[in-house]
Amino acid sequence: MKNKHLSKVVLDEKSLGQAAGDIDHERKVAMHDLLQDNVFAPAGATRDGPYALHLSERDGRLIFDIRDANGEELVAHHLSLAPLRRTIKDYFLLCENYYDAIRAAQPEKLETIDMARRAVHNEGTETLIERLDGKIETNFETARRIFTLICSLAMRMGRGTA
């Protein structure tokens, strides 16, 4: 799978919401980890990778704008954000609780909240994999990191925390 990977990920600045420091840190870690190790093969691409993914959100739709290493557009996939909204909302609520427990030095709550947070994150990842079926071939870890980036986009106008 040498040429079936991402070498660049760009998040649309207009789509990004104001994020708390903790959420911003998670986004940066996900971006770093994604670029270090990923499996990404878009259906309908006319050339092999590596690929550049330009990820944005417009009018309730996720836009996966996939380009070649030179920035030339290859294919774009538009997905409704609706199937992920509830999971994203739950995930952000659990993240808030998790970071509150850290700040309040409540280690007894951390493990339980973290387990729930990971379970909801996995649920979102599975939904994303289903939505990408036939459009983009990926593995669980790659989809998990992309889900984190999607959550960053969903924060725009308070969608992630409402």
pLDDT digits (tens, 9 = 90+) for 55-114: 998 888 999 999 998 889 999 999 998 999 999 999 888 888 888 888 887 777 888 888
Nearest-10 crossing angle of helices 140-154, 107-132: 100
> What's the distance, CA 102 to chain centroid?
24
Rg (CA), the chain: 16
Among residues 39, 157, 41, the alpha carbon closest in space to that of 88 is found at 157
Confidence band, pLDDT 50/70/90 cuts, at residue 160: very low
Report the DSSP pairing between strands 61-68 and 73-80.
Answer: antiparallel
**C-alpha distances out from residue 16 to 41, 58, 115, 117, Å:** 25, 11, 27, 22
Distance (Å, rounded) from C-alpha 71 to C-alpha 53?
10
Confidence band, pLDDT 50/70/90 cuts, at residue 159: very low
User: Are the CB atoms for 59 and 40 separated by under 8 Å?
Assistant: no
Confidence band, pLDDT 50/70/90 cuts, at residue 155: low
Distance (Å, rounded) from C-alpha 37 to C-alpha 152?
20
User: What's the chain's length in residues?
Assistant: 162
Predicted structure pTM score: 0.85
Distance (Å, rounded) from C-alpha 56 to C-alpha 139?
21
